[in-house]
Chain A
Amino acid sequence: MKTKTQPMTILATLASAAMALVAASTAMAQEAAAPPVTPAAAEAAENLAYTKCQLCHGPQGHSISPIYPALAGQKAWYILEQLQAFKAQTRGDPYARGMMWGIASNMSDTQMAALADYFSKQTPFASEPAPIFGPSAADIAQGKSIYSEGISATGVAPCSACHQADAKGSDQFPRLAGQHALYLIKQLRAFHSGSREQIVMNGIVGPLKDDDMKAVSLYLESVR
C-alpha cells in the first residue's frame, strides 16, 4: 500500500531548509558588520533620512511612490544588509543599479548601521491610506493562499514559513507586511530572472507564475 506524503509536509521541509540556509548566511552577514549606533551617529542618520533618503523613501520611511520600498519598521539587519549589497554592487536588480549603487557608494559602515537602525524604529504604515486603485478580493484571496499555504501543485513553499504568519519578518527574514505591491512584484521578478541574486529566493520563486507573484504582492500590500 502506498503511503502518500502530504504536499504541505514537503513544502514545510523545503521552507525549513531555506530558513536554515538564510539563518546561516544572515548570521554571517550580521557578524561581518553592524557597528554600534552612537547618539551622534543616530542624529546624523536622522539628518540623512530627512535630507536624502526622504526623496524616495520619505523621511520616516513611508514612501509615497510605490516604485520605492517603504522602510518604516523594516528589520534593521535587513536594511543594513541591503545597503552593504548596494555599496558592494552585489544586488543587481535594475533599480538597485540605477539608483542605490550610486547613493550607497560612499556610505560608511557607521552611516549604514545608523540608517538601518533609524528606519527600523519608525512606525510602519499605521495610517497609510489604501491605494485608490486597489486589488480585487480574488487577488487578495489568491495571494493570501499562496502566502499562507504555498502552491502544492508546483512545489511553492508558503511564504509565511519564513516571513511569519503576520508577514512582519524576524531576525532572519525581512518584513513584507504593507510593502508596496509594485515594489514586491518587481523584486519577485528580479529573483525569478536572477538579476537579484539571493540563493534561497531565486530557488523558491522558480515555479511562481507572474499572476502568482502579482497576487501575493497585492495581498502583502493589504496586510497592515
Chain B
Amino acid sequence: MEQCNWFQLNAWFQRCAVLAVVLFGVMCAHPAQALPLFARQTGMACLACHTNYPELTHFGRMFKLQGYQLDDGKDLEVTTDDGKQLLSLPAIPNLALFIMSGYVSLGKALPDSNIPGAKSFKDGIQFPQQVSLLYGGKIAPHFGAFAQLTYDSLAGTFGIDNTDFRFADTVILPNKTKLTYGVSINNNPTIEDPWNTTPAFGFPYVPPEINVPYAGLQINAGLAYQVAGPVFYALWNEQLYAAFGFYKAAEVGSPGNPITGAAAPYDSASGSVPAGLNPYWRLAYEYDFDRYAFEVGTYGARFKIYPGAGNALSGLTNNYTDVAGDFQFQFIGEKNTATWKGTYVKENQSLDASYALGGSNATDWLSYLSTDFTYWYNRKYGATVGYLSTKGSTDPLMYPSAPTLCAANSCTGIAAGTPGAFPVGVTNSANSNPTTNAWVTELNYMAWLNVKFVLQYTHYTKFNGGTTNYDGVGRNARDNDTTYLLMWFAL
C-alpha cells in the first residue's frame, strides 16, 4: 500500500475543496429560467433560425427548405379508425405582427413640386412605416407557408407581400446521404432561396421608404408581387442546392377590366406585364465547418415583359437576362456573430418593344453589386458596413437628361414647354447614365429579441451618373443621403 505525505494530502485537500465548491455551486444554482422568447411553433428561441432578422443561420436555412415543418409536437390531429391521419395542424396559429416605424432625413431637401424655388421638408416620419401580418409555419405534414400581408403607410393600403407556400420532403439516398426536395410557390423571385445574398431577403434589409429612387434590375425586386410561380428545388446533404422554376404575371392590384367591369386577364390598360413563363434558376454550395458556414453560388432569370400602358400585350417584348454570383461567410460564436456576404448581378437588356416605341436603346445593360459586413456582439449590439453599386449603359431615352418639368398644382404629365413649367431634376441624369454608388452603415440595438432599433446612414458617392450636379439642376449625389432611424417590433 502506498503512503501519502503531507504534500499529497494537501493536494487531495485542494481537489476536495474544489469539488466541494463545485458541488456547492451546483446545489445553489438558480433554477433554469424560461426562454426569453419562444417561436410559437417550434418552442425555440429566435436565435435558432436568425443571427438577426431576416438573416438566417444554418438551422434557419434548413427549416425553410424543409417547408417550415419542425414543431414542438403540440398539434391538433384527426385520425381515422384505421389509423390514417387526416389533419395535423399547429394548435396555436403561427401568426405574427411586424410593426416598423421610421424617421428619415435627406441630405438636402427636395425642390417643391409646385412652387419654383421652394423646398420640401428635409425629413419625414413614417408612423408606422409598415405593419405586416404574417403566417409562418406548418400547414400540414410536408406543407408549410410564409405569408405576409403588409400595410404600407405611404400608399395607405394593405397589400400582398412576400408569400411562399411549400411542399418538402427528405429522403435518405442509397449512399446514406440526405436529400431534401420540394416546391415553393411564391410571388417574388429568389424568395425561395435560404441565403441572404439573393435580393428578396438581401441587404439592405429595411431601406427607408422615403428616398430618391434610381435604376434597378428586374430580379432585384423589379417584379416582386407582380408574378407568381413554382420553384422546384433539391438540397443534397445540407450542402448542394439547386432550384429551377417559372414565373408568370400575377394580377395583384390591377384594376377591373373596362369591358366586363370585373377581374379579367391583363390587357393594354396595364403597364409592364410579364409575358408567358419566365424561367428562374439557382445553384449554391454551402460548407459548414467549426462555427463557420461558407456559401458560394449563382442564380439568374430571364424575363420577357410587354410595355403595355396603351400598347397591346402582344408582339415585341423587352427581354431581360439576369445572371448573378453570390457568396456568404458566416461566423456564429458564443458572443460574437459576423457575416460577410455579397452578390453581383449583370442584366443584359434586349429592349425590342421599347426601342420600337422610341423609348430606349435597342440594347442596354445594368449591373448591381452589393456587399456588406455585419458584426453582432452578444446578439444585442450590431454594426454593419455595406457598399451598393449600380452601373449601366448610357441611354438618353431611358435616363433623360432634360430635368423633370413641374408646374403649379401638378408635377406629373406636364410636357416641356408648357407655360409655367419649371425644372426640378432629382430623378433624371444629366449624362443619361444610371450609375449610382452608395455606402450604407448601420448601428443596431436589439433591446429584446423582438425589439430592434436601427440607425442607418446611406451616403451616395455617385447618383444617376454624377457626383455633383448629376441632374443638371444643381443637385449633388450626397444631397440624396439618408439618415434613417427605424424601430421594429415583432409580436
Contacts and interface: CB of A to CB of B under 8 A. Distances in A.
Do A and B belong to a common assembly? yes
Contact of A131 (B39, B238, B289): B289
A179 to B, nearest CB: 14
Contacts of A55: 59, 62-63, 66, 69-70
Q: Is the interface of B mostly helix, strand, loop or mixed?
A: loop
Interface string A75-107: 000000000000001101010011101110111
B26 interface: yes
B23 interface: yes
A41 interface: no
A197 B288 CA distance: 29
B25 interface: yes
A155 B332 CA distance: 33
Interface in B11-56: 11-12, 15, 18-19, 22-23, 25-26, 29, 32, 34-35, 38-39, 42-45, 47-48
A206 B18 contact: yes
A106 B29 contact: no
Nearest to A102: B43
B82 interface: no
Contacts of B39: 102
A155 B15 contact: yes
Interface residues of B, number: 53
Contacts of B45: 97-99, 102
Given A55-B70, A103-B43, A64 B32 contact: no
Nearest to B332: A67
A38 B365 CA distance: 65
B178 interface: yes
Contact of A107 (B2, B22, B73, B178): B73
A136 interface: no
Given A3-B2, A94-B334, A202-B22, A66 B178 contact: no
Given A103-B42, A131-B289, A203-B22, A10 B8 contact: yes
A127 B43 contact: no
B77 interface: no
B59 A105 contact: no
A64 B288 contact: yes
Contact of B72 (A2, A92, A97, A102): A102
A177 B289 CA distance: 18
Given A51-B69, A59-B172, A64-B178, A102 B42 contact: yes
Nearest to A6: B2
A66 B238 CA distance: 12
Nearest to B42: A102
Interface string B308-325: 000000000000000000
Contacts of A132: 287, 289
Nearest to A2: B5
A9 interface: yes
A56 B3 CA distance: 52
Contact of B170 (A14, A59, A92, A197): A59
Contact of B238 (A2, A65, A133, A182): A65
B29 A194 contact: yes
A144 interface: no
B290 A182 contact: yes
Contact of B44 (A10, A50, A98, A203): A98
A60 B72 CA distance: 20
A58 B334 contact: no
B141 interface: yes
Interface string A1-34: 0110110011000100000000000000000000
Contacts of A155: 11, 15
Nearest to B47: A98
Contact of A52 (B35, B69, B290): B69
Contacts of B22: 194, 199, 202-203, 206
Contact of A67 (B11, B58, B237): B58
B358 to A, nearest CB: 55
B119 interface: no
Given A102-B72, A105-B43, A194 B25 contact: yes
Interface of B: 2-5, 8, 11-12, 15, 18-19, 22-23, 25-26, 29, 32, 34-35, 38-39, 42-45, 47-48, 58-59, 62-63, 66, 69-74, 141, 170, 172, 176, 178, 237-239, 287-291, 293, 332, 334
Given A89-B34, A101-B43, A102-B39, 9 more contacts: A5-B4, A10-B11, A14-B15, A64-B238, A99-B48, A103-B44, A199-B23, A199-B26, A206-B22
21 contacts: A2-B5, A10-B12, A54-B178, A55-B59, A64-B178, A65-B238, A65-B293, A67-B288, A90-B32, A98-B45, A98-B47, A99-B44, A102-B39, A106-B72, A107-B73, A194-B26, A199-B22, A202-B25, A203-B18, A203-B19, A203-B23
